[in-house]
Structure formats: C-alpha cells, structure tokens
Amino acid sequence: MALKTVILVVEDEVIIRMGAVQMLEDAGFTVVEAGNAHDAVSILEDRNDVRAIFTDINMPGTMDGMRLARMVRDRWPPIHLIVTSGLIFPSDDDLPPGGKFIQKPYDPRHVIATLRALLGQTSPSNPHLLARKAA
C-alpha cells in the first residue's frame, strides 16, 4: 500500500481549517493542521514527511502566512506552497519561488488540481480532469 502524501494546513479560523482538512482528506491526502504559523514551524521541525503547505495569509501572531511561506522556502525548499486569502491578493513576485496563490473563497477542485500539479501527480493541463481524479 502506498503512503498518502502529507499536507500541512495552516489556518486560524477553525471552521475554515476544518473544511480545508476535510477537502484534502476526501482527495486522499493525509492532513496535519496548525492554527498559526508558529505551530506550523514546530510541526515541520518535528516531521520530515510534509510535502506541501496550504496556508492562509492573515493569521494572528508575529508571523503571517507569507512570512511562513518564505521561511519554509528557505528552510525546507522541497515543500510545495499554496497561500490563500480573501483579503490580500499577492502578485507572483510577492510569493516565494514556486509558490501559488489561490483566492478565497476557493473552489476545492482548483485547490486539489493545483496541489496535484505541484506534487507532480498529474499534468496541470486539464484542472477539471485532475479534480475528478482527486474526488
């Protein structure tokens, strides 16, 4: 049996985090969750199996999702990054290299297709086909 890909969800809003976790688990991923960037860093320091992070930008504390994404790119370069927000809309230049932005509210099919493309699990040419494979 193949091991499931581990995704770290970082979101301070509990209901939104629960929805994101469910969405990713339904797509066949193993999900670890954190309520803020500092908890996310602690998880990354303790685990070596996280392949991607799906993080909100706006979070309480001294580190937001963009700072987290930059730190992850510096300390754990193989980890893929997706940042999301309904309030801040970063340009590609604002994101760490290879990072992706998905605006809230997001379509779960788009999130899953983007993750699968980043992870090299499918071709990014047809996101609707990718989303069906994720379901």
Tens place of pLDDT per residue across the chain (135 aa): 557 899 999 999 999 999 999 999 999 999 999 999 999 999 999 999 999 999 999 998 899 999 999 999 999 999 999 999 999 999 999 999 999 999 999 999 999 999 999 999 864 444 444 444 443
What is the rounded distance in angstroms from the CA atom of residue 24 to the CA atom of residue 54? 10
pLDDT for position 2: 58
Say whether pTM exceeds 0.85: yes
Cα dihedral 30, 36, 42, 44 sign: positive
pLDDT for position 121: 86
Quote the tokens at residue 73. Answer: 């790119």
pLDDT for position 129: 43
Residue 95, CA distances (Å) to 18, 66, 67 in order: 25, 7, 10
Q: Domain 6-134 belongs to what topology?
A: Rossmann fold (3.40.50)
Is the distance from CB of 52 to CB of 82 less than 8 angstroms? yes
